[in-house]
Amino acid sequence: MPIFEYQCRKCKTIFEHLVIPTTTDKATCPKCKSKGKNLEPVISMFATKQDHVTSRHMDWVKKESNNLKYERMQTEKRLASED
C-alpha cells in the first residue's frame, strides 16, 4: 500500500499514513487529531519534483505487480494439476 506523509498545520507533527483505496479511511494527526484541511501532504503521487519518492513508489508498484503475477501463476498451476 502506498504510504503518504502529512504534516499537521496545527502542531507541525509529520506522520505517515497508509492509504488503503478500498476504505474511506482518512489521515488523522496522531497528536492533536486534526484532519482534512489541517493536514498538508508532504508526499503525493503526483510529486514529480521528488524523484526519489516517485522511484521508490514505482519500485513498490513493480514489486507488488510481480507478486500478483506470481500468485496468479501458482493458482493456475494448482488448478491445472487438480483436474
- Residue numbers of the site for Zn ion (CB under 5 A)? 8, 10-11, 13, 29, 31-32, 34
Q: How far is the CB of 6 from Zn ion (least distance, A)?
A: 9
Q: How far is the CB of 1 from Zn ion (least distance, A)?
A: 23
Question: Judged by CB, which is closer to Zn ion: 26, or 69?
Answer: 26
Question: Judged by CB, which is closer to Zn ion: 11, or 45?
Answer: 11
Question: Judged by CB, which is closer to Zn ion: 27, or 29?
Answer: 29
For the chain, first and last CA: distance in Å? Answer: 35
CB 14 within 8 A of CB 6: yes
Helix residue spans in 1-83 (DSSP H):
51-82
| Region class of 33: left (phi > 0), else alpha (psi between -120 and 50), else beta | left
Cell triple for residue 60?
513498490
Q: How far is the CB of 9 from Zn ion (least distance, A)?
A: 8
